[in-house]
Amino acid sequence: MAQGLSSSSISTESSPRPVAVIDIGATSIRMAIAEIHQDDVRTLDTLVQSVDLGREAFDDRRLSRKSIEKTASVLKQYQRVLQEYGITSPADVRVVATSAVREVSNRLAFIDRIFVATGLEVEALEEAEVNRITYMGVMPHLMNQKKLADSKSVVVEVGGGSTELLVIRGGNVLHSQSYRLGSLRLLKTLETGRLTPLRRRSILESHIKRTLVQIAEQVNPDQKIQLVAIGGDIRFAAHRLLENWDGVSLAKLPTKDLANLTDQVLKLDEDEIVRQFGASFIEAETLVPALLAYTMLARHFELQHLYVCETNLRDGLLHDMAVGGSWTTEFRNQSVRSAVSLGRKFDFDEMHARNVAELSRKLYDQLQDDHQLDSRYEVILYLAALLHEIGMLINVRSNHKHALYVIRNSDLFGLSKIELLQVGLVARYYRRASPQSSHPEYGLLPREERVAVSKLASLLRLAIALADTRSGRIREIECEREGKRLVINVPGVEDVSLEQIAMRQNAGLFRDVFGMPVLLRSGK
């Protein structure tokens, strides 16, 4: 996520801030320690400890007490290292877990036990968050290569439990998805006794091909495809096949060389891989299925070479900490593009939707002192404004309820399930009933999130009233307080009588939430 970082966006402090991120994965727990400077993030140290969470998670859907305690023990060791670096504040440490923890039935018990043992809060990253961090991490590399910047790039990471896919063209995300194809899941298919190398390869290829078919449907090779591979296994291969790779810039790896290496490791067991290639046992375990998957991807798209990127999840998390966890402008733009694409699928009135969204944004900005929400909620409001009529194609009468359903079950780029729910609820309350505790989705939210949804929905209703004529004639507004009421002035528009009628109908929720009636006034 290095893109867009500057001295002003990272930190205003003159002295470096030491921070750390810990990634609890399927086969290892990795920690990166870094300093956040005014103009960059500098990694100081990295640590890795092997664990076997993935096998239990994907076989039994549950983590054993032994594995949980092993994880706690590793994290305690890491805490001692953190103390040596002077990192003691919880705000300076972010601990995340991926699919091995996210998918187990006792995930909450795992998270609670780690907190009791270490005081560390473990965040089980959703697929959308992983995609967001991956995108922001890989984009600087893509944009620095003209060939990649101008073409369609398929960014792929084959992990222990899943394969993450991003399709990017010209800096825009065309598609993002997670597939249940991981190296540990693939290894599980081989647990049928002793197999010949040929039979072993055949079984792995048959499972990989199923996912390849799905990926091919999403990629749509309407132009030249470039494959960008990330992940520890492909980096291992690149370091052994490319003598002069600096490990930082994008590496151009010939497909035939990768295929030859894959052929070699397919004939070896883990001990032999360790001896012949100098791999760790962690690397040796997942190397075979991962490299085969990358090779088959490159061959499927008939590529002479693929690119290998050094970026990883921890790099992205460190840069996320550097910008304070806020959503960057580039991420916001990608989410908006994703919402517009979804709206077009449902034949929405795009001009009207964009006008309502822009008016919502202006209301949000000018009423900051009243709603006191952070910048993340501006994105939530903007997306809800774009999609508030998306349910019209399904049923006009209850379109607001259908909007909630469609948005909740969509794949808006980079948004988690809770964020999709927030967008859906704001859109759901653009008309008719105000938010009620008896409404299932709304009533289950924590109070802070309920209040935020109510505030955003009230702003959306004001924006819809301003755009009531659907002509787009109101584009600029000026909000001011007059006594105990909010006055919205519309400069350059003499007759706002129709909008005033709509405002009287729509301003009730705003009055209930903020305690202010609303007056709409023309700017003569």
CB 463 within 8 A of CB 364: no
Asked whether the domain spanning 329-523 has the same topology as the one spanning 128-318, the reply is no
Given the DSSP bridges, would you call strands 152-158 and 122-124 parallel, antiparallel or unpaired? unpaired
**Widest pairwise Cα distance in the chain:** 85
Q: Give the Cβ contact number of residue 235 at 10 Å.
A: 20
Q: Extract the tokens encoding 40.
A: 């960059």
Q: Which residues contact 417 (CB under 8 A, 6 or more apart)?
A: 126, 128, 408
pLDDT, position 296: 97
pLDDT, position 3: 39
pLDDT, position 356: 98
How far apart are alpha carbons 474 and 430 in whole angstroms?
A: 19
State the average pLDDT for the chain: 91
Show the CA angle centred on residue 413, arms to residues 509 and 172, nearest 5°. 120
% residues pLDDT > 70 (the chain): 96
Asked whether residue 4 carries a pLDDT value surpassing 50, the answer given is: no
Give 191 or 111, the one with higher predicted confidence: 111
How far apart are alpha carbons 214 and 209 in whole angstroms?
A: 9
**Got the DSSP string for 19-63?**
EEEEEE-SSEEEEEEEEE-SS-EEEEEEEEEE--HHHHHHHHSS-
**Got the DSSP string for 1-23?**
--TT--HHHH---SS-EEEEEEE
10 pLDDT tier (thresholds 50, 70, 90): very low
Asked whether residue 206 carries a pLDDT value surpassing 80, the answer given is: yes
pLDDT, position 8: 39
Of 1-5, 108-112, 510-514, the least confident: 1-5
- Exposure string (b/e) for 310-335, b if CB count within 10 Å is 16 or more? bbbbbbbbbbbbbbeeebbeebbebb
Query: In the Cβ-directed half-sphere of 375, how many Cα atoms lie within 13 Å?
Result: 9
Asked whether residue 472 carries a pLDDT value surpassing 50, the answer given is: yes
Q: What is the DSSP letter of 325?
A: T
Q: Which residues contact 171 (CB under 8 A, 6 or more apart)?
A: 139, 142, 143, 149, 330
How far apart are alpha carbons 197 and 437 in whole angstroms?
A: 60
Give 237 or 149, the one with higher predicted confidence: 237
In the chain, the amino acid numbered 149 is A
Q: Give the Cβ contact number of residue 372 at 10 Å.
A: 10
pLDDT tens for each residue of 31-41: 999 999 876 78
How far apart are alpha carbons 62 and 204 in whole angstroms?
A: 25
CATH class of 329-523: mainly alpha
Give 464 or 147, the one with higher predicted confidence: 464
Of 128-142, 151-165, 257-271, the least confident: 128-142
Give 121 or 171, the one with higher predicted confidence: 121
Q: What is the 3-state secondary structure (H, E, C) of 256-287?
A: HHHHHHHHHHHCCCHHHHHHHHCCCHHHHHHH
pLDDT, position 346: 96
Asked whether residue 326 carries a pLDDT value surpassing 70, the answer given is: yes
Give me the CATH topology for the region 128-318: Nucleotidyltransferase; domain 5 (3.30.420)
* Extended beta strands in 428-471, E state: none
SS3 432: coil
**Got the DSSP string for 342-389?**
HHHHTT--HHHHHHHHHHHHHHHHHTHHHH---HHHHHHHHHHHHHTT
Asked whether residue 14 carries a pLDDT value surpassing 90, the answer given is: no
CB 294 within 8 A of CB 234: yes
C-alpha radius of gyration, the chain, whole number? 26
What is the CA 116 to chain-centroid distance, rounded?
A: 28
Helices first, then strands: H and E counts in the chain: 24, 14
CB 502 within 8 A of CB 520: no
Q: What is the DSSP letter of 481?
A: E
pLDDT, position 31: 97
Asked whether residue 5 carries a pLDDT value surpassing 70, the answer given is: no
CB 339 within 8 A of CB 381: no
pLDDT tens for each residue of 331-349: 899 999 999 999 999 999 9
pLDDT tens for each residue of 242-280: 998 988 889 999 999 999 999 999 999 899 999 999 888
Q: Extract the tokens encoding 202.
A: 């055949």
Q: Does domain 7-125 have CATH number 3.40.50.1820?
A: no
Query: In the Cβ-directed half-sphere of 155, how many Cα atoms lie within 13 Å?
Result: 32
Report H helices in 144-250. 146-150, 183-188, 197-219, 232-241
pLDDT, position 175: 87
Q: Which residues contact 471 (CB under 8 A, 6 or more apart)?
A: none
CB 461 within 8 A of CB 510: yes
How far apart are alpha carbons 68 and 29 in whole angstroms?
A: 12
pLDDT, position 132: 87
Section 86-112 average pLDDT: 94
Ordered by start, the domain boundaries in the chain are: 7-125, 128-318, 329-523
Tracing tokens 């800096």 back to the chain, one arrives at 171
324 pLDDT tier (thresholds 50, 70, 90): confident
Section 485-509 average pLDDT: 96
How far apart are alpha carbons 237 and 158 in whole angstroms?
A: 13
Secondary element (H or E) of residue 496: none
pLDDT, position 136: 82
Asked whether residue 9 carries a pLDDT value surpassing 70, the answer given is: no
pLDDT, position 26: 92
pLDDT, position 524: 58
Section 134-155 average pLDDT: 86
pLDDT tens for each residue of 385-436: 999 999 999 999 999 999 999 999 998 998 989 999 999 999 999 999 999 9
